[in-house]
Amino acid sequence: MPAGAGVPYAAVSVHRAALQRLLFEYARHLGIEVRFDTKVSIYFEDVEKKKGGIKTPDGEQYEGDIVIAADGIGSRSVDLVENEGSEGEAQNSGIAIFRANYPAELAYKKPNVVDRFSKRPLPANGHMQVWSAANGYAIINTTDELINFHICRPNKAGAKERWDHKTNKNAIISYLDQDGWGPDVRDLVEACPDEALFDWKLMFRNPKPNWVSPHGYVVQLGDAAHTFLPSSGNGATQAMEDGTSLASCLHLAGKAQVPLAARVYNKLRFERTSCAQKLGFRNRDRFMAADIETLKAKQVLLGPIMGMWVTQHDAEAYVYDNYARCVDHLVMGKRFENT
């Protein structure tokens, strides 16, 4: 997506499934072993060995110079990484979301879907569209192979943190009809198999300042460190920035100073991710409060969902420019502020 046409930045739009496949294939190319369907029950660190480690429910144990907990919002690393009262219980965000991911060929049988979502030749990385209605909004990603949609609506009722709550087309279509959605999004839902439909009550946690275990051999990354609402449009990107930043810190620190590298990474990233987290709430409120009739009359768009401070950041360069000063701050107490 080139800069211009109301978008103040250049961006690459890619379906996360395709990106995950690409990263997986590259990891295999580098000779990195990837194990699936393996749960982590305990994170630990061994100060004498200067190692971090994990244990699985069946008793297997793995150790390394550093263990990166990138296992999402339910990470067991919270048992080791201390945050006194800052994380707390998951709270209701005020949003519930119908979500699905299914083969595009099922949807492209419907004329409305073809006209709206694939009339133009799709680039290899697909398209993303944001739709607003009277009382909700949708984020729709389309490629030649996959359709992915998030249909967000208010949720004032109580909520529990779970990811397996299924729903069905009738429930979603009932909501769409009541809220005045047009036939295009309705057809996307009708084409989706019921087994691919989920209804999530979105939760959030307040930003937590510490992502590092007491001795520095286990460190959190991505949603394990900072949770994002889908309306931020930036959660996966921030996780990738985390990875770039941590790798750069470890490169500069060397094997002998892994705990220091982890603390520098935490310091350089916390404020930025906290600000980016808030974008999700800002966008949620903007999408929910959109004046549809005014948008139609003026033929205007909702505009960019994030600023250049998000899209133009170079996480690697930021580490190399600030690592030494951040070390002086952490070790000697010298003044340091993130920019």
The whole-number average pLDDT for the span 296-312 is 66
- Integer Cα distance of 94 and 203 in angstroms: 8
Higher pLDDT residue, 339 or 301? 339
Mean of the per-residue pLDDT values of the chain: 85
When pLDDT is cut at 50, 70 and 90, the band that residue 111 belongs to is: confident
Positions annotated as catalytic residues are 99
The whole-number average pLDDT for the span 180-199 is 91
Q: pLDDT at residue 225 above 60?
A: yes
Burial class (CB in 10 A: 0-12, 13-18, 19+), 9: middle
Q: pLDDT at residue 293 above 70?
A: no
**Start-end of H helices in the chain:** 16-29, 104-107, 111-117, 169-178, 183-190, 235-253, 258-288, 292-298, 308-311, 315-332
Q: Is 259 helix (H, G, I), strand (E, B) or coil?
A: helix
CB 319 within 8 A of CB 249: yes
pLDDT of residue 243: 97
Lowest mean pLDDT among 12-16, 191-195, 235-239, 269-273: 12-16
Percent of the chain at pLDDT > 90 equals 50
The whole-number average pLDDT for the span 176-185 is 86
CB 200 within 8 A of CB 73: no
Q: pLDDT at residue 108 above 50?
A: yes
Beta strands 127-133 and 91-103, pairing class: unpaired
CA distances from residue 110 to 42, 168, 328 in whole angstroms, order as listed: 48, 19, 61
Q: pLDDT at residue 327 above 90?
A: yes
Percent of the chain at pLDDT > 70 equals 84
Q: pLDDT at residue 178 above 80?
A: yes
When pLDDT is cut at 50, 70 and 90, the band that residue 88 belongs to is: low
When pLDDT is cut at 50, 70 and 90, the band that residue 2 belongs to is: very low
pLDDT of residue 10: 59
Residue 115 CA from chain centroid, whole number: 30
Q: pLDDT at residue 66 above 90?
A: yes
Beta strands 218-220 and 146-154, pairing class: unpaired
- Integer Cα distance of 4 and 8 in angstroms: 6
- Residue 2 structure tokens: 């080139």
Full-model pTM: 0.84
The whole-number average pLDDT for the span 71-89 is 79
Q: pLDDT at residue 121 above 80?
A: no
